[in-house]
Structure 1
Amino acid sequence: MKVFSSQHSFDYPWQHVSSSAWQKYPNEMSSHVVAVDVLRREFNHETGILTTERLITVKQPVPRWLLAIVGGRDTSYVREVSEVDPIQKTFTLRSQNLTMNNLLSVQETVSYFPDPNNTNKTVFDQTARIEAYASIQRLCNKIEDWSVERFRQNAALGRQGFESVLKKLASTVPDGMFAKDLAAAQ
């Protein structure tokens, strides 16, 4: 098993980041994400927590050697469940690959929360647990190493793409709009 982790600070308040996250895809840097479908959305009136379940369709090149061993295609599916807590100001997303998860499990957790040192910034915390399943440990290591590197590349591109979405939305939305939208949802 390998672990990938990353932390980043966005120069926008939590309200802006958490409401913009729904518009993260499509973006020019994350062309591997081809579709995002909402499967379920629930709002808990007692806690104020919004829970959303989405299916994310991803298409990216897979090494021929891997496809030759396990078969499959270059399109895969990921299940994501998120919780937005406007009281605690947390937005947590948990995702799990659905495609070939008997050969490779990727469990990712992403959290957005206000920077404790600067409320005009939002901390992005990302952790992924990547584990390959095969009878040959050397093959598992090779698959995990390739997967971690691919995850690292996609994470960097995703962060850049989200920065462009944040910048674009900040220029088109009047000041205070995100805070008003969030208050109205409570």
Structure 2
Amino acid sequence: MKIWSSNHTFSYSWESISQAAWRKYPNPMNPNVVGTDVLSRRVDDSGRLHTHRVITTAQWPFPDFVSRLIGFDKRCYVTEYSIIDPATKTMTLRSKNVTLASWMAVEETLIYQEHPDDANKTLLTQEAQIFGSSALGIPSYFEGLVVDGMSSNASKGREAMDWVCKKIMAEMQDLAAGAQQLGAAMGFSSDTQSSV
């Protein structure tokens, strides 16, 4: 077993980051993610949103010879459970691979929390545990390959979150500008629009 961990501070509020997490895929930084499907969603008595999703990817960090050896077709499925707690401003995502889990299991946890000193920032704590099967012959070698890929993918994931946040901000500005133009075309002044 190998453990990988990382911490990062986003220059966006927790509200922005938690919205961006739902719109993270597709994005140009992670073209291997080809789909996300929500299997269930509910709000508990404490007001926390629980979601179960399946994420489909088109690659796995095994060398081609290993993929051929075990008969793998390159399509992978990951199950993700998340809890968003608006009271504590915490979003926790736990994921694990379904595909090839008997050969190599990866369990990842991401926790997004409002920065304690700056409400305009969000802290990300990310950890993964990688379990290689002894059937692979040298599990630590393959676990090491996955750990190496985790660092690269984590960096791409942070870039993707930044990209989505900027995209959402641009959409909000476009929407506000469109509303102002519509209001002006209908004869409303900006004072009238803000009071509506």
Under a length normalisation based on structure 1, what TM-score does the superposition of the two structures give?
Answer: 0.88
Distance of 2:65 and 2:18 partners within structure 1: 39
Is the counterpart of residue 59 in structure 1 residue 58 in structure 2?
Answer: yes
Answer yes or no: is the 8 Å Cα contact 2:80–2:93 preserved in 1: yes
Answer yes or no: is the 8 Å Cα contact 2:132–2:139 preserved in 1: yes
Larger C-alpha radius of gyration, 1 or 2? Answer: 2
1:12 is paired with a residue whose SS is coil
How many angstroms does 1:135 deviate by? 4.3
Distance verdict in 2 for CA 1:28–1:135, change over 3 Å = closer
Distance verdict in 2 for CA 1:136–1:163, change over 3 Å = closer
How many angstroms does 1:155 deviate by? 1.3
How many angstroms does 1:142 deviate by? 1.2
Which residue identity does 1:164 align to in structure 2? W
Task: State the match for 1:142 in structure 2.
Answer: 141
Distance verdict in 2 for CA 1:75–1:135, change over 3 Å = closer
Which residue identity does 1:60 align to in structure 2? Q
1:72 is paired with a residue whose SS is coil
2:134 is paired with a residue whose SS is coil
**What are the superposed Cα offsets for residues 57-112 of structure 1, whole Å, 9 maximum, x if unpaired?**
01126412211332212110000000000011100000010001011010000010
Distance of 1:2 and 1:48 partners within structure 2: 35
Which residue identity does 2:153 align to in structure 1? N
1:173 is paired with a residue whose SS is helix
Answer yes or no: is the 8 Å Cα contact 1:36–1:56 preserved in 2: yes
2:4 is paired with a residue whose SS is strand
How many angstroms does 1:144 deviate by? 0.4
Answer yes or no: is the 8 Å Cα contact 1:27–1:162 preserved in 2: no
Task: State the match for 2:38 in structure 1.
Answer: 38
Which residue identity does 1:160 align to in structure 2? E
1:155 is paired with a residue whose SS is helix
Superposed CA RMSD in Å reads 1.6
Structure 1 or 2: larger strand share? 1
Which residue identity does 2:40 align to in structure 1? R
How many angstroms does 1:136 deviate by? 6.3
Query: Which structure would you say has the larger RCO, counting Cα contacts within 8 Å and 6 or more residues apart?
Result: 1
Which residue identity does 1:3 align to in structure 2? I
What is the identity percentage for the equivalent residue pairs of Structure 1 and Structure 2?
Answer: 38
Gaps of 5+ in 1: 175-186
1:148 is paired with a residue whose SS is helix
Gaps of 5+ in 2: 174-196
Distance verdict in 2 for CA 1:16–1:71, change over 3 Å = same
Which residue identity does 2:26 align to in structure 1? P
**What are the superposed Cα offsets for residues 139-168 of structure 1, whole Å, 9 maximum, x if unpaired?**
101110111111221111111111111111
Which residue identity does 1:165 align to in structure 2? V
**Number of residue pairs aligned between Structure 1 and Structure 2:** 173
Task: State the match for 1:131 in structure 2.
Answer: 131
Answer yes or no: is the 8 Å Cα contact 1:13–1:119 preserved in 2: yes
